[in-house]
Structure 1
Amino acid sequence: MADHQRQRIHPAADVVALPTTPLVPRGTSPSDKGIRIQHLPPLQRAMPAIRATPTKNRSCCCKCVCWTISLIVLLLIAIAATAGILYLVFKPKLPNYSIDNLRISDLRLNFDMTLYAKFDVIFTANNPNKKIGIYYKKGGKLSVWYTKTKLCEGSLPVFYQGHQNKTMLNVALTGQSQHGNTLMTALQEQQQMGRIPLDLKVHAPMAIRLGKLQLRKVKVLGECLLVVDSLSTNNLISIKASNCKFRLKL
């Protein structure tokens, strides 16, 4: 059979190679000259991140902090419990004071126009506690003020006051004040009305004694607002009104 006939019966299929299309960057055309065809690498699978495990140092630090906080809490609980027991056993009360007598020994103007004042104050210190003693330490002060001007000041004695004890104290106070002429005029005007307001301030450092145990030093701050009828010298002055308040300062 001729070759021409064979081809007509069984035509031979021509194998044509498919052209490979190069990857062209977006925004360019294959006809651009000088373009360089690059083959992109295959996609890489993202590897999951491995979390770092906590170190032993961090664990030890956390334990130390927890132990420290626990010890502090236990210490505070122990202190509070001890204070509560002491309060229930001794039932502490603040000492109080009352002004009994007030005498003016001297009140005059100096040549430099300062006001010189000398007062004698008799007051009672009362310790109402049944199981607590009080040591009055050095540095205690008693002062007399008119409005915001200190007229005179004196020192409190150093002594020990026992349980439920009342002690009468006589304190001499002296002092000089500026603007004496103005002060004297104001005091004389108040005396004409028969009502002179005075302010007595107490500053008493003391130590508390519980049985045989002496505690740290504390301070009692007191203030007595007085109204007297006169400021005449060498005479007992009538106290028309008295209002005293005291507080404890650690």
Structure 2
Amino acid sequence: MSRHPKIHPDASSARPSAPLVPRAASRSEQGDPSKRTLTQRSTYAPLAPPRKRGRSCCCRCVCYTLCLLFLLVVAVGATIGILYLVLKPKLPDYSIDRLQLTQFALNQDSSLSTAFNVTITAKNPNEKIGIYYEDGIEITVWYNETKLSEGSLPKFYQGHENTTVIDVQMSGQSQDATGIMSTLEEQQQTTGNIPLRLRVDQPVRIKFGKLKLMEVRFLVRCGVFVDSLAANNVIKIQSSSCKFRLRL
């Protein structure tokens, strides 16, 4: 028995040439679903947060303030630098030229009475700056932590590159001075000198041209080594040195 070949229908001929459902039928009355989906998504898209204008204004104010402060600091620094270059300020110079002890006595109540005559030379080395020495200049003489005498400097004006010699009378009284006397005698025998300290606290005003600046204070600390503390005798100053510090 012979087999007859099977004939398969052509796939291309079985495929419909037109869609079974019209494309318009897949659309709803509201239009294309794909377009409706995009429209719905765009409707519910998140909005950008509103800008806070108050915070931005505060930031600008802070920035402007900082810039102004910076410019002010730069301007003040530049002014000080220019004045320093023009005026070339120098600290005044002090020296203890003469020290005379006119009284040095231990009283019956163990107190020590002292009196000094001090000659001080003050120099103003500045070419364009004058110095006003105001009232309230105090000078004291110390041995270790004991204040022996005190006095005050006169009020005066010192011009440019001027040297002024000042005589100051000082006096004082120290309580419970028995130990001080024994320490002084022992130190003089051991080292051959006695260390004293002079302190000067002086309010001054600086002047250049016609401008007179605010009051400042010079603190002067002088270390003086003398050969002895003999009453009614000019004390020999073996060495002395002074340091300065400015206090506003």
Report the TM-score range of the alignment, normalised by the length of the smaller protein: 0.7 to 0.9
Give 1:49 shift: 6.7
- Show the counterpart of 1:229: 227
- Show the counterpart of 1:103: 100
Is 1:213 aligned to 2:211, yes or no? yes
Instruction: Give me the TM-score of the superposition, normalised by structure 1.
Output: 0.78
Determine which of 111, 115, 129 is the counterpart of 1:114: 111
- Show the counterpart of 1:123: 120
Is 1:52 aligned to 2:70, yes or no? no
Matches of 2:107 and 2:210, distance apart in 1 = 51
- Show the counterpart of 1:197: 195
Task: Report the more deviating stretch, 113-122 or 128-137.
Answer: 113-122
Give 1:50 shift: 5.5
CA contact (8 A) 1:208 1:214 kept: yes
Counterpart residue identity of residue 201, structure 2: H
Unpaired segments of 5 or more residues in structure 1? 1-46
- Show the counterpart of 1:183: 180
Higher normalized helix content (fraction of residues): 2
- Show the counterpart of 1:71: 68
CA contact (8 A) 1:94 1:247 kept: no
Matches of 2:220 and 2:45, distance apart in 1 = 75
Matches of 2:47 and 2:183, distance apart in 1 = 87
Unpaired segments of 5 or more residues in structure 2? 1-43
CA contact (8 A) 2:98 2:118 kept: yes
Matches of 1:237 and 1:80, distance apart in 2 = 48
Instruction: Give me the TM-score of the superposition, normalised by structure 2.
Output: 0.79
Give 1:48 shift: 7.9
Change (3 A) 1:49 1:154: farther
Question: Over aligned residues, Cα RMSD in angstroms?
Answer: 1.7
Aligned pairs, number: 205
Counterpart residue identity of residue 80, structure 2: A
Matches of 2:111 and 2:45, distance apart in 1 = 90
- Show the counterpart of 1:61: 58
The percentage of counterpart residues that share the same residue type is: 53
Change (3 A) 1:229 1:49: farther
Matches of 1:123 and 1:198, distance apart in 2 = 15
CA contact (8 A) 1:191 1:231 kept: no
Give 1:151 shift: 0.8
- Show the counterpart of 1:35: none
